[in-house]
Structure 1
């Protein structure tokens, strides 16, 4: 299943252009099978998502607790294995930041 197909299960109107840009941006990480998934059972991984993606890439200035709630909500929305691009897309959409990737 492509990244776009996985994302569209949760965001039916997901932009293929945004997903393509995300795939280019994170191409190196996506070459590693382990890095393609976000491990919701690893607090250090979730902290990296908060710090590097939500705060760093998206520029969100909310409190850590508020960001952690948004990350948890996405985790609740996506059952099973959580594809990194799906998590990132849903977080970017949540914060109205798809424009960071051209959307």
Structure 2
């Protein structure tokens, strides 16, 4: 298996164990690929759930630009729900898992078809 495949399996395990969600592996693979090389960088591959600046960047660059959602308060509410579901105390929130959960939360799976 490639390094990316190993990471996708790691992300799937996180979804099963920490979120209690059986992942759609095809969508998880596409979201992971969409993250680009950031998944290989230790700092960039994770999300700091308490960093307001980072959460705003996710809102602007992922939710609004990638998923095409209009700016509203519900976007930050969705981010907070995903962070809560993933576990606030969990220090290693993988970016690909957060993006996958946001895609599912907002029903935007078609973006990755």
TM range (shorter): 0.7 to 0.9
Q: 1:60 Cα shift? A: 0.9
Q: 1:7 Cα shift? A: 2.3
How many residues align? The count is 101
Q: So what's the TM-score if we normalise by structure 2? A: 0.80
RMSD across aligned positions (CA): 1.6
Runs of 4+ deviating beyond 6 Å? none
Q: Highest relative contact order (Cα 8 Å, sep 6+), 1 or 2?
A: 1
Segments of structure 2 that go 5 or more residues without pairing to the other structure are 1-8
Q: So what's the TM-score if we normalise by structure 1? A: 0.87
Segments of structure 1 that go 5 or more residues without pairing to the other structure are none
Give a deviation string over 1:26-56, Cα, whole Å, max 9, x none: 1311111111111112111000100000111
Q: How does 1:27-66 map to 2 (within 5 A)?
A: 27-63=36-72, 65-66=73-74
